[in-house]
């Protein structure tokens, strides 16, 4: 038998990706609770600020898309943690070469049911591995090893492209291993046990 609450959470996760990538900002705002927070490589802010920056970026031609895979959900009453396999793809010019970067990882969502509605309280992507390729495979791109190696293995190419187009990228996002991912898992357990905030 299907768990209707988990189905509602899964729908929430899917709506996040579809509405954000489609630029459907009014509906995208409904996936969050009012105190929602987004942590991305380039933006760690309230959901409202993330929406504003995403909207302005899309209007300027910033091209970031998301693809979702399997989802697992741990739920305790009106709280849950959803982990969803995802791919982030971004296209931009790097040193005059049009490139695609693809980053595979997971969305780690702290969600809560308030007033009969599930909403995202905090989203923290986990960055597992990535690659950067010229759109035209005949073109050679020389990367700055010093800049590339400033970032963790899981998202160093994504960060490289984002820095090259002027984004300020955080260097301590969680990956497959390390202190950051262990701290995130601990926050997830605390959230399910009743912590005030994720």
Closest CA to 154 of 88, 73, 100: 88
pLDDT of residue 1: 53
In this structure, which CATH number among 3.10.450.50, 2.30.42.10, 2.30.30.100, 3.30.70.930 belongs to the domain 4-172? 3.10.450.50
Token pair listed for 81: 């943690």
Do 90 and 162 meet the contact criterion of CB atoms below 8 Å apart? yes
pLDDT of residue 59: 96
User: SS3 helix, strand, coil % of the chain, rounded to 5?
Assistant: 35, 40, 25
pLDDT of residue 57: 95
Half-sphere exposure of 108 (CA within 13 A, CB side): 24
Q: Using alpha carbons only, give the angle 39, 43, 47 rounded to the nearest 5 degrees.
A: 65
* pLDDT averaged per 10 residues, the chain (length 198): 89 98 98 98 97 96 96 98 98 96 98 98 98 96 96 97 96 96 98 96
Radius of gyration of the chain (CA): 17
Determine the Cα–Cα distance for residues 83 and 125; give it in Å rounded to an integer. 9
DSSP 153: G
Closest CA to 125 of 160, 159, 153, 84: 84
pLDDT of residue 26: 98
pLDDT of residue 2: 65
Domain ranges, ordered by start, for the chain: 4-172
């Amino acid at each position: 038998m299907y768990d209707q609450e988990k189905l509602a959470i899964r729908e929430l996760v899917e709506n996040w990706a579809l509405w954000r990538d489609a630029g459907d900002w009014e509906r995208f705002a409904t996936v969050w609770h009012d105190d929602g927070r987004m942590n991305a490589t380039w933006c760690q802010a309230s959901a409202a600020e993330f929406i504003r920056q995403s909207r302005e970026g899309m209007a300027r031609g910033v091209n970031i898309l998301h693809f979702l895979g399997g989802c697992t959900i741990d739920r305790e009453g009106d709280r849950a943690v959803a982990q969803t396999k995802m791919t982030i793809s971004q296209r931009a010019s790097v040193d005059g070469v049009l490139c695609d970067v693809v980053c595979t990882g997971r969305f780690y969502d702290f969600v809560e049911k308030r007033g009969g509605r599930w909403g995202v309280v905090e989203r923290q992507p986990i960055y597992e591995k990535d690659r950067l390729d010229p759109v035209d495979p005949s073109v050679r791109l020389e990367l700055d090893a010093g800049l590339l190696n400033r970032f963790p293995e899981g998202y160093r190419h994504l960060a490289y492209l984002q820095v090259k187009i002027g984004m300020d990228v955080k260097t301590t996002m969680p990956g497959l291993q390390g202190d950051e991912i262990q701290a995130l898992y601990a926050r997830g357990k605390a959230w399910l046990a009743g912590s005030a905030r994720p």
